[in-house]
């Protein structure tokens, strides 16, 4: 799971501050479901095998631009090929060049790749619509950037973050390969998530199918440490149907599901939600091994992850088999407290972490009802000035924003469709 680099803003807060009060979800299952195509016991074995390989010392933590990252991609592609899944576009892999944000100097150019495959739907009328089931497969490796134990020079292998999510997607791919749904399913694995959702951002901008044919996206990030049966599910307010779908899928023995509505957050579902696609993000909560050398396979709860996979299959089949598409909702966000000491300012902007060659900060979106939304900012805007300070990149934007306090009125200069515009915005208070 990514620690996005704009402290305190809605899509960039650290995950330790992303877990807010639980929202109880209730409702009824709305469609007839096909029974899961494999048992939790068999999924446990597959989870163990996949995580042991992906988080092995040989892959050295799967940092983008390293041989371990490339080998992880090759492993995933081989698994999809062995299941008989169809490649999309030029094959199972989607190469791209990542440009991670840096504090000083030009952004580096790092070749890496996403991996994806297609499971065609069995219904001729619905086969042209898609459910995306995805997870990132990269991690920190030997890099201390964003590590929470930077004094440790070992390899951060990322068993939970996010070999566990990758294993969940591979297991679901096997289920649907054996028993296809009415709609088609794209299983997708993203690189560059730890640098700011770079792989998923590239994927949604270079989709192998029309973006408006994607009905929903299910994201799995850190699903290997189930404790006390507690599963967090984000995004339940991004479609009207989500609460009843999730509740109906939670069969005995039930998981203790705590749900949050917002579709923006520090993982790859955010890239899809920014494109007006309903999303769910499955997560077994923060733990003491997050972004540390101690996130190793031995600490994975494979049986617990198998239960999550079984629930997720029921959710996925409901979405992929129902007659009508989900009803997308642009949800409002809960304003988590800022991790930046002494800064409670809130704007509600969602930065485009992929960046670009043009100076400024481009927005992936803005949170509904936020100061940015009320002030007239929109997805795609390029912010070039904030209250007289020139904005060149993510860092200059962060510095300019957090020089203010809640209640301040600021002037934001932006470029939209080639036109330079000025907006006056009153900053909010995070958690207020």
pLDDT score of 75: 98
Phi first, then psi, for residue 291 (nearest 5°) are 55, 35
CA 251 to centroid of chain Cα atoms = 25
Give a yes or no: residue 9 inside a domain.
no
User: Which domain range does residue 186 map to?
Assistant: 15-321
Residues ≥6 apart with Cβ < 8 Å to 49: none
Tokens of 272: 């899809």
Give a yes or no: residue 10 inside a domain.
no
Q: What is the DSSP letter of 297?
A: G
Give a yes or no: residue 338 inside a domain.
no
Strand partners, 390: 385
Give a yes or no: residue 201 inside a domain.
yes
Do the beta carbons of residue 281 and residue 219 sit within 8 Å? yes
Domain count, the chain: 2
pLDDT score of 73: 98
One domain for residues 32 and 148: yes
Query: ω before 152 within 30° of 0 (cis)?
Result: no
Angle of helix 165-178 versus helix 67-82 axis, rounded to 10: 20
Give a yes or no: residue 328 inside a domain.
no
Instruction: Give the CA diameter of the chain.
Output: 60
* Rounded CA separation 418/170 (Å): 43
pLDDT score of 24: 30
Edge-to-edge strand ranges of the sheet holding 279-283: 93-98, 110-119, 184-190, 130-136, 214-220, 279-283, 230-234, 256-260
One domain for residues 96 and 219: yes
Q: If the chain, 432 residues long, is cut into consecutive pieces of 10 residues, what is the mean pLDDT of each piece? A: 50 32 30 52 93 98 98 98 92 95 86 98 98 98 94 97 98 98 98 96 96 98 97 96 98 94 91 96 95 97 97 98 96 42 72 72 85 92 94 82 91 95 91 56
The CATH number covering residue 127 comes to: 3.40.630.10
Q: How many CB atoms lie within 10 A of CB 56?
A: 17
One domain for residues 262 and 361: no
One domain for residues 191 and 270: yes
Cβ burial, residue 52 (10 Å; 0-12/13-18/19+): middle
| 4-62 pLDDT per residue, tens | 444 333 333 333 333 222 223 333 333 334 455 556 778 999 999 999 999 999 999 99
| 389-421 pLDDT per residue, tens | 999 877 788 888 988 999 999 999 999 999 999
Give a yes or no: residue 339 inside a domain.
no
The CATH number covering residue 400 comes to: 2.30.42.10
Q: H/E element holding 42? A: helix 40-54
One domain for residues 278 and 423: no
Do the beta carbons of residue 344 and residue 429 sit within 8 Å? yes
Which of 229, 336, 236, 222 has the alpha carbon at shortest distance from 283? Answer: 222
One domain for residues 78 and 183: yes
One domain for residues 103 and 193: yes
Q: What is the DSSP letter of 274?
A: T
One domain for residues 357 and 214: no
Strand partners, 86: 118
> Final residue of a domain: which of 286, 306, 321?
321
One domain for residues 44 and 186: yes
One domain for residues 207 and 311: yes
pLDDT score of 366: 85
Cβ burial, residue 22 (10 Å; 0-12/13-18/19+): middle
Do the beta carbons of residue 139 and residue 291 sit within 8 Å? no
CA of 320: how far to CAs of 122, 278, 326, in Å? 10, 13, 10
Q: How many CB atoms lie within 10 A of CB 127?
A: 15
pTM here? Answer: 0.82
Q: How many CB atoms lie within 10 A of CB 136?
A: 31
Do the beta carbons of residue 80 and residue 208 sit within 8 Å? no
3-class secondary structure, 11: coil
* Rounded CA separation 152/154 (Å): 6
Q: What is the DSSP letter of 364?
A: E
Give a yes or no: residue 42 inside a domain.
yes
One domain for residues 316 and 375: no
> Final residue of a domain: which of 271, 305, 321?
321
One domain for residues 171 and 259: yes
Give a yes or no: residue 51 inside a domain.
yes
């Amino acid at each position: 799971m990514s620690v996005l680099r704009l402290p305190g803003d809605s899509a960039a807060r650290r995950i330790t501050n992303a877990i807010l009060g639980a929202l109880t979800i209730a409702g009824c299952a709305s469609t007839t479901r096909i029974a899961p195509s494999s048992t939790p016991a068999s999924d446990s074995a597959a989870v163990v095998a996949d995580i042991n390989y992906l988080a092995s010392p040989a892959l050295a933590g799967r940092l983008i631009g390293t041989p371990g990252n490339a080998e992880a991609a090759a492993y995933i592609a081989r698994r999809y090929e062995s299941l008989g899944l169809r490649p999309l576009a030029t094959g199972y892999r989607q190469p791209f060049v990542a440009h991670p944000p840096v504090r000083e100097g030009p952004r580096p150019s790092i070749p890496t790749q996403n991996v994806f495959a297609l499971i065609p739907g069995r219904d001729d009328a619905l086969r042209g619509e898609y459910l995306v089931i995805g997870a990132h497969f990269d991690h920190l490796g030997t890099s201390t950037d964003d590590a929470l134990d930077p004094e440790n020079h070992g390899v951060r292998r990322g068993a939970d973050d996010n070999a566990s999510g990758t294993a969940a997607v591979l297991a679901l791919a096997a289920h649907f390969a054996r028993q296809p749904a009415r709609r088609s399913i794209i299983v997708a694995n993203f690189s560059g998530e730890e640098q700011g959702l770079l792989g998923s951002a590239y994927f949604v901008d270079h989709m192998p199918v029309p973006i408006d044919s994607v009905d929903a996206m299910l994201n799995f990030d850190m699903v290997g440490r189930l404790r006390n049966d507690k599963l967090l599910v984000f995004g339940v307010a991004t479609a009207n149907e989500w609460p009843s779908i999730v509740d109906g899928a939670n069969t005995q023995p039930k998981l203790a599901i705590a749900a949050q509505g917002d579709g923006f957050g520090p993982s790859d579902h955010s890239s899809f939600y920014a494109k007006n696609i309903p999303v769910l993000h499955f997560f077994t909560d923060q733990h003491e091994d997050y972004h540390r050398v101690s996130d190793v396979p031995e600490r994975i709860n494979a049986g617990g992850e198998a239960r999550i996979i079984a629930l997720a299959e029921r959710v996925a089949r409901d979405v992929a088999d129902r007659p009508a598409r989900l009803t997308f909702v642009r949800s409002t966000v809960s304003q988590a407290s800022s991790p930046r000491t002494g800064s409670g300012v809130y704007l509600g902007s969602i930065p485009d972490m992929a960046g670009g060659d043009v100076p400024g900060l481009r927005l992936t979106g803005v949170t509904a009802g936020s100061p940015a939304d009320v002030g007239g900012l929109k997805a795609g805007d390029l912010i070039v000035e904030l209250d007289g300070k020139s904005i060149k990149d993510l860092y200059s934007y962060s510095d300019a924003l957090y020089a203010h306090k809640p209640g301040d009125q600021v002037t934001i200069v932006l470029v939209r469709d080639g036109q330079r515009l000025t907006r006056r915005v009153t900053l909010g208070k995070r958690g207020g």
